């Protein structure tokens, strides 16, 4: 069985992330969306809200699970028996970072990273921009996956 984790901060999980998971399901039997939860890293959305919004997005998807982790990504992948790490790429700016961590995960854990290019229509979608819009009171429903209602962060 081909199992992958899709690790990220997902603050919040966007329609761009959703598209990567949906397309990943054509490659993997099971995908675990793995929310990196670092107590010292400040996020806008609490971990419980991030999990709930992702659960809403994938309600009825039997092959997608959501977990949080506070260890190294490679240790989490191995602890759940995942042979692959799924990531998404928007720009050349993403490339250097993704390559470095993919090389590291292969070197220290023998786990391959599979990277999908974003669909062009989602290339501008980012959690950072979504957070900025929220801070200025703008609606971000276009940034969220279908069927997801934002859980207000405060």
CA-wise closest residue to 15 among 78, 62, 58 = 58
Assigned token pair, 55: 């659960």
User: Does 28 help bind ligand ADP (rule: CB under 6 A)?
Assistant: no
CA angle 145, 153, 63 (to 5 degrees): 35
Q: Can you tell me which of 24, 28, 32, 118 binds ligand ADP, judged by CB under 6 A? A: 118
Q: CA 23: distance to chain centroid? A: 13
User: Does 127 help bind ligand ADP (rule: CB under 6 A)?
Assistant: yes
Q: Can you tell me which of 10, 45, 58, 84 binds ligand ADP, judged by CB under 6 A? A: 10
Q: DSSP class of residue 130?
A: H
Question: Which residues are CB-contacts of 79 (< 8 A; sequence separation ≥ 6)?
Answer: 71
Nearest approach, Cβ of 123 to ligand ADP (angstroms)?
6
Catalytic sites, residue numbers: 17, 41, 90, 127
Nearest approach, Cβ of 116 to ligand ADP (angstroms)?
7
Nearest approach, Cβ of 6 to ligand ADP (angstroms)?
7
Nearest approach, Cβ of 94 to ligand ADP (angstroms)?
5
- Interatomic CA distance for residues 66 and 40, integer angstroms: 21
User: Does 68 help bind ligand ADP (rule: CB under 6 A)?
Assistant: no
User: Does 12 help bind ligand ADP (rule: CB under 6 A)?
Assistant: no
User: Does 126 help bind ligand ADP (rule: CB under 6 A)?
Assistant: yes
Q: Can you tell me which of 88, 111, 113, 145 binds ligand ADP, judged by CB under 6 A? A: 88
- Interatomic CA distance for residues 79 and 71, integer angstroms: 10
Annotate 103-118 with DSSP letters as a single string: HHHHHHH--EEEEEEP
């Amino acid at each position: 069985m081909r199992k992958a984790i899709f690790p990220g901060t997902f603050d919040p999980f966007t329609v761009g992330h959703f598209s990567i998971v949906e397309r990943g399901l054509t490659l993997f039997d099971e995908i675990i969306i793995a929310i990196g939860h670092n107590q010292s890293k400040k996020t806008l959305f609490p971990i419980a809200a991030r999990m709930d919004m992702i659960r809403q997005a994938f309600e009825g998807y039997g092959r997608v699970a959501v977990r949080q982790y506070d260890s190294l990504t490679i240790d989490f992948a191995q602890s759940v028996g995942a042979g692959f790490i799924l990531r998404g790429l928007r720009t050349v700016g993403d490339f250097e970072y993704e390559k470095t961590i993919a090389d590291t995960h292969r070197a220290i854990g023998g786990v391959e990273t599979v990277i999908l290019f974003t669909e062009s229509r989602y290339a501008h979608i980012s959690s950072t921009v979504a957070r900025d819009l929220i801070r200025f009171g703008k609606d971000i429903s276009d940034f969220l996956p279908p069927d997801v209602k934002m859980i207000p962060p405060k």
